[in-house]
Structure 1
Amino acid sequence: MYGDLDDWRRPGPTAKQQRTDLVVGAAFAGFGLLNLALARSVGLYSTGVSAAAEQVGWTLLVTLPIAWRRRRPDAVAIVVSLAFIGGQIREVPEQQLTGGALFCAMYTLGAWGPDHRRSKWIRGGIIATMFVWLGIFYLMKLPTVSADDFEGAAGPFSPIAAIALNGVLVNMFIFGFTYFFGEIAWIAARRQHQLEVQADQLRASQAEARERAVMGERVRIARELHDVVAHHVSVMGVQASAARRVLDRDAGKAKTALASVEQSARTAVDELRRMLSLLRQGDGPDRETAGAGLDRVDDLVASAREAGLTVTAGVFGEPADLPESLSQAAYRIVQEAVTNTIKHAGATTIDVRIRYLADELEVDVADNGHGSTGAGPGGLGLIGMRERVAAHDGVLEAGGRTGGGFRVRARFPLHRTAVTA
């Protein structure tokens, strides 16, 4: 049952656990001495075999090592068991606290023994020694007992047989449970260790998978960029060089070359936009809206209302002519935020605001849901939002709102003069 766990060595106790053991050991010793005084007061084992000072010594020798039970479980179990037998041989009247200390040491050896195989052997040896001693004790004491000492006995067993059987059964029961619970505690610690190791491995695997996904996406984008854009950029370079050479001699040819540069630039931008949209959307349903921009936000608002949300929407400031790629990126931010609110947030209201500031375009989507950042199949998710915003040198803020809900706010640099020109 435990073979697959035996190679693990349990780490030692923490400083706090060691301090706790010192308190427990002192308590065992203190109550043991008190119980010894009480036993002597009622005359238990008053045969005079051992003096009071010796009885104190045996009691301390059994109970005090519990203070080091988790630091040295092997040694403590051996010392306590031998001292327990010695105390019984010398007829020390205190048997209750010392017996408890013995079982505590046995349990601790099973639960905290650094080498589990060795702790099994030691516990087995201690239990065997205890039963051997029990047999010797009965052989020494029971012959001195006469039937007259049991006046009124009426059970099915003889008094002597009943005493022997009771001692054997009680010790089997106590030692068996001590051994069993020590094993259970050790296995629980081993499984906790395994869970921690698996959790660390899972986190490392997830981080590695994310890194591989990002690298793979970068390689794919770089390959597509080269295939789609490199040709147009090369043509632009050739035409710009030609325009520079003929600018002073033939203005017509220079204008033609510059017009070709302009057209190539627009074509490259359009193809780049379409390529990035396809990379992001794959074959999902959003492929049909690859060229959608902020002029389609009303459709998103309508879909949110159809989903049962109370929607507040508004456009603030003086609208500006936006580059198509920027308009599409802003639209995708709103689309992803609205989609996440509908699918994951459990919200009842959503507020969509588009602000044209002096030098920024701000897109702000807020809801009153439980703050989910999840994305459905084919969605961008928070990582995709950040990549879209970063591609336009913008800033994305996403997180919970004070009082509940979630907000996504993206700010894009807006160069009105450049756009107008």
Structure 2
Amino acid sequence: MAVVAQREEWRRPGPTPQQRRNDVWLGLAVTGLALASLTLARSTGAFLLGPPPSGPEQLFWTVAVTLPLVWRRRWPATTLLIVSWAFIAAQARSAPETQFSAWALFCALYTLGAWGPDHRLARRLRIGVIVTMFAWLGVYYAVTIEHIPPDAFADAVGPVPPVLAAMVTGVLANVLVFGFAYFFGETAWVAARREHELCEQAEDLRRSQAEARERAVLGERVRIARELHDVVAHHVSVMGVQASACRRVFDRDPGKARTALTAIEQSARTAVDELRRMLGVLRASGGADGEQPTAGDVERIAELVERARAAGLTATLGVYGDPVALPESVSQAAYRVTQEAVTNTLKHAGADLLDVRVRYLAREVEVDVTDDGRPGRPDAAGLGLIGMRERVTAHDGELEAGPRAGGGWRVRARFPLADQPARQPVTSAAERSA
């Protein structure tokens, strides 16, 4: 009902200047043709409505019925009221011109239905005019039936009484004329409203497409920023810790310094490889949707733990439950969250112990990173935590990040898994190489 009411309240825009000029020419043309028809009727003496009034009055009624069409789309309701009043008055005065006058009434009735700003008012006015016309027809029949000559239907041979047949014919003709005028006017208004709705929908579609493009660009920027942060920050942080250790032991223990430099070299190569892979994905024509990343798998969490050990931490890794095949996006997200947590431990925690756990549960996979460092972290509201939350939220997961009750810091992320009745356990990289 609300939609119907909204459609009824829609107001059709008024005619354009060109359409108004066309109406002026149409009204003048119809008036000219009506005057020509009047001249022919007077010349033939075809006065169907009875003895006509004077010549000037005949001209007046002919112009009064047809000339208002010059304003038919500018003021459709006023035009219909004037035309219908003049039409009845002209017939009451037995004006001989009836052909173009009837057409003018049809046009005015149609125009109000098609162009009336207030559709409810237009409907009421049209129905009122139609009822008035049929009432006038009844009055006309009642007045003229007594003046019909006795021999007017001398040649009638049909089964229906001639007077009744004439009245029924007149009623049917008027039903068709007024019915078509009403129907075509309603159809034109509905077509204009649908065109308006289509234009609005097209505009909404263009606007939504523009917004979607903006969101896509913003999302791509966020993704690039997150990937750059995860790749660069982790490896640079590890290299910074290893370089610091190398500087401290360079003079007194060259062996450890050489080990630290080797780890720095390996971290740099890994960072460059991951940057190249990420740039390759961004430059690919298919984007990242069809890309099968070579990094980011949960099995590579062991490499993160090894890098933490090389940086001087006592790091442990535990895998609990039966490992199962994870969706690539979930596997990469779990890896990146763990990578960011390990990076934060190396950069900000001042920790000695690092514990990483991967748990394969019935309906989710969980990564849990804890350390024994200081609970206050400069990164607690930084880009790293924002990136982790974005990754976890994208998979409808849950993220916990904050100080532990017994000291230190904990990052725990849970990723729900789709129901897979026949999920098959997978072997780890170490088991495959055995």
Name the structure 2 match of 1:216: 219
Q: Which residue of 1 aligns with 2:182?
A: 179
How far does the alpha carbon of each residue in 1:169-204 deviate from its partner, in whole angstroms, 9 at most, with x for none? 110111111111111111111111111111111111
Q: In structure 1, which of residues 216, 228, 231 is the aligned counterpart of residue 234 of structure 2?
A: 231
- Equivalences for residues 101-120 of structure 1 within 5 A: 101-120=104-123
Q: Is the 8 A contact 1:80 1:101 kept in 2?
A: yes
Q: CA deviation digits over 1:296-335, x for unaligned, max 9?
A: xxxxxxxxxxxxxxxxxxxxxxxxxxxxxxxxxxxxxxxx
Q: 1:41 aligned to 40, 43, 61, which one?
A: 43
Counterpart residue type for residue 8 of structure 2: D
- Give 1:281 shift: 5.6
Q: Does residue 149 of structure 1 match 2:156?
A: no
Shift in Å, 1:32 = 0.6
Residues in 2 aligned to 1:206 and 1:35: alpha-carbon distance in whole angstroms: 58
- Which of 12, 21, 25 in structure 2 is aligned with 1:23? 25
DSSP 3-state at the match of 1:50: coil
- Residue 186 of structure 2 aligns to a residue whose secondary structure is helix
Measured in 2, the distance between the counterparts of 1:265 and 1:97 equals 93
- Determine the C-alpha separation between the residues in 2 that align with 1:3 and 1:234: 64
Q: Which amino acid aligns with 1:196?
A: C
1:106–1:179 CA contact under 8 A, matched in 2: yes
The alpha-carbon deviation at position 53 of structure 1 amounts to 0.9
CA distance in 1, matches of 2:68, 2:155: 43
Query: Per the alignment, do residues 283 and 106 of structure 1 end up closer, same or farther by CA in structure 2, a change over 3 Å counting?
Result: closer
Say whether 1:201 aligns with 2:204: yes
Name the counterpart of 2:14: 12
Matches within 5 A, 1:203-352: 203-234=206-237, 264-277=267-280, 282=288, 284=290, 287=292
Deviation at 1:255, TM superposition (A): 11
Matched, 1:125 2:128: yes
The alpha carbon displacement at 1:259 in A equals 8.4
- CA drift of 1:147 comes to 2.9
Q: Number of paired residues?
A: 289
Please tell me whether residue 60 in structure 1 is matched to residue 63 in structure 2. yes
- How far apart, CA to CA, are the structure 1 residues paired with 2:265 and 2:78? 87
**What is the CA distance between 1:263 and its match in structure 2?**
5.6
Aligned residues of 1:68 and 1:76 also touching (Cα < 8 A): yes
Which residue identity does 2:43 align to in structure 1?
S
Work out which of the two has the higher radius of gyration on C-alpha atoms and give 1 or 2. Answer: 2
- Is the CA contact 2:242–2:264 (under 8 Å) kept in the aligned structure 1? yes
Q: Which residue of 2 aligns with 1:87?
A: 90
Structure 2, unaligned runs of 5 or more: 249-255, 296-434
| Distance in 2 (alpha carbons) for counterparts of 1:241 and 1:29 | 101
Q: CA RMSD in A?
A: 3.5
How far apart are 1:208 and its partner, in Å? Answer: 1.4
- Inter-partner Cα distance in structure 1 for 2:37 and 2:158: 32
Alignment-derived partner of residue 363 in structure 1:
none
Secondary structure at 1:197 match in 2: helix
TM (norm. structure 1) is 0.61
Q: Confirm or deny: 8 A CA contact 1:147 1:159 kept in the other structure.
A: no
Q: Report the 3-state secondary structure (helix = DSSP H, G, I; strand = E; otherwise coil) of the residue aligned with 1:143.
A: helix
Measure, in 2, the Cα distance between the counterparts of 1:244 and 1:66: 98
Partners of 2:4 and 2:133 in 1: CA distance: 27
Change (3 A) 1:183 1:283: closer
Which residue identity lines up with residue 73 of structure 1 in the other structure? P
* Shift of residue 102, structure 1, vs aligned partner: 0.3
Distance 1:116 1:57, change over 3 A: same
Distance 1:67 1:234 in 2: 83
Please report how far the alpha carbon of residue 75 of structure 1 lies from its aligned counterpart in structure 2 after TM superposition. 0.5
Equivalent in the alignment of 1:78: 81
Contact 2:52 2:96 in 1 (8 A): no
Q: Given the superposition, is the C-alpha separation of residues 155 and 3 from structure 1 closer, same or farther in structure 2, using an over 3 Å criterion?
A: farther
TM-score w.r.t. the length of structure 2 is 0.59
Q: Distance in 2 between matches of 1:61 and 1:283?
A: 73
Using a 3 Å threshold, how does the CA distance of structure 1 residues 237 and 18 change in structure 2: closer, same or farther? farther
Give the residue type in structure 1 aligned to 2:37: N
Deviations 1:259-290 (A, max 9, x none): 88766544322112224456776573x53899
The CA distance in 1 between the partners of 2:76 and 2:268, in whole Å, is: 78
1:51, distance to aligned residue in structure 2 (A): 1.0
SS in 2 for 1:147: coil
SS of 1:45's partner is coil
Deviation readout 1:364-414 (Å, 9 max, x if unpaired): xxxxxxxxxxxxxxxxxxxxxxxxxxxxxxxxxxxxxxxxxxxxxxxxxxx
Larger mean CA deviation between 133-142 and 257-266 belongs to 257-266
C-alpha displacement at 1:239, in angstroms? 8.1
Q: Which amino acid aligns with 2:78?
A: A
Residue 261 and residue 120 in structure 1: after superposition, are their counterparts in 2 closer, same or farther (change >3 A)?
same
Q: Deviations over 1:200-234 (max 9, x none)?
A: 11111122122222222221221221111113334
Cα displacement string for residues 96-125 of structure 1 (whole angstroms, at most 9, x for unaligned residues): 001100000000111111111000100001
Partner amino acid for 1:170? A
Q: Which moved more, 1:145-154 or 1:31-40?
A: 145-154
- Whichever residue aligns with residue 34 of structure 1, its letter is A
Sequence identity percentage? 59
- Alpha-carbon distance between aligned partners in 2 of 1:39 and 1:218, rounded to the nearest angstrom: 81
